[in-house]
Structure 1
Amino acid sequence: MIKNLNSLILVGLGGALGASLRFGIGQFFKTYFFHNYFFISTFIVNIIGCFLIGYLISVTQNKNISQDFIKYFFIIGILGSFTTFSTFSLEAIEMINENKTSLALIYIFLSLILCLLFTFIGLNFNKIIS
């Protein structure tokens, strides 16, 4: 029971932090860089999150690191709320509904390819830099 309660607290704290980071980054990009391209912040956040998830999974291979803390606080909590498939999906549908089908298809294609690529890079980052 205690482990589950600790895990719940770690996920909750991480989730609050991840959602706040996503909101802040989204507001920053919308305000200073991409006024008319609302989806760019989601795109960037998801790519960063995919890299970090891959990297943190590879880090947990090291037995000297608290796997529970990384799993519950960082991966499930922070990165689970930082990345957002639901917003990505909504933005793609909104583009289609606004007759921006080509833009939606590019967004969908690049999101899927780059998120998978950056997850792979994250998983192999230590091998790449050494």
Structure 2
Amino acid sequence: MEKDFPVATFLINITGAFLLGYVYAAARPNNLVDYWLRSAIGIGFIGAYTTFSTWMFESATLRDRRAVKTMIAYLLASLVVGLVGAWVGSRL
């Protein structure tokens, strides 16, 4: 159990990336959301919602527990799926 993939943090970060992509797209010129509101939502609310420091801490914890394969999968999946989530959010 101690070497399990950190699903909760993964899901929080992926949904945060999706939301950030959506907010970014909504704040493009001629869209409904002003730049300052995009910054407040993106940096303030979504930044607080996502958990970069927890992502790093859990990765280091997996490394310390010698769950290197799980750590690598967690890091790569978070990056790749996060980027895809941000892209999908920006396309809506």
| Greater Rg over alpha carbons, structure | 1
Q: TM-score range by the shorter chain?
A: 0.7 to 0.9
Q: What's 2:38 paired with?
A: 70
CA distance in 2, matches of 1:48, 1:77: 15
Question: Which has the larger helix fraction?
Answer: 1
2:51 aligns with 84
Q: Distance in 2 between matches of 1:57 and 1:95?
A: 33
**Per the alignment, do residues 38 and 82 of structure 1 end up closer, same or farther by CA in structure 2, a change over 3 Å counting?**
farther
The answer to whether the Cα contact below 8 Å between 2:5 and 2:70 also exists between their aligned partners in 1 is no
Distance 1:65 1:37, change over 3 A: same
Aligned to 1:101: 68
Are the structure 2 counterparts of residues 96 and 116 from structure 1 closer, same or farther at C-alpha, using a change threshold of 3 Å? same
* 2:48 equivalent to 1:48: no
1:118 pairs with 2:79: no
State the one-letter code of the partner of 1:108.
L
C-alpha offsets along residues 27-73 of structure 1, whole Å, 9 cap, x if unaligned? xxxxxxxxx8472111000000000000001001244433322321x
- Whether the 8 Å CA contact 2:26–2:32 is kept in 1: the answer is no
| Structure 1 residue runs of 4 or more that deviate by more than 6 Å after TM superposition | none
* One-letter code aligned to 1:69: L
In structure 2, list runs of 5 or more residues that go unmatched.
none
TM-score normalised by L of structure 2: 0.86
Identity across matched positions, percent: 28
RMSD across aligned positions (CA): 1.7
Question: What count of residue pairs does the alignment treat as equivalent?
Answer: 89
Structure 1 unaligned regions, length at least 5: 1-35, 126-130
After TM superposition, the score normalised by the length of structure 1 is: 0.62
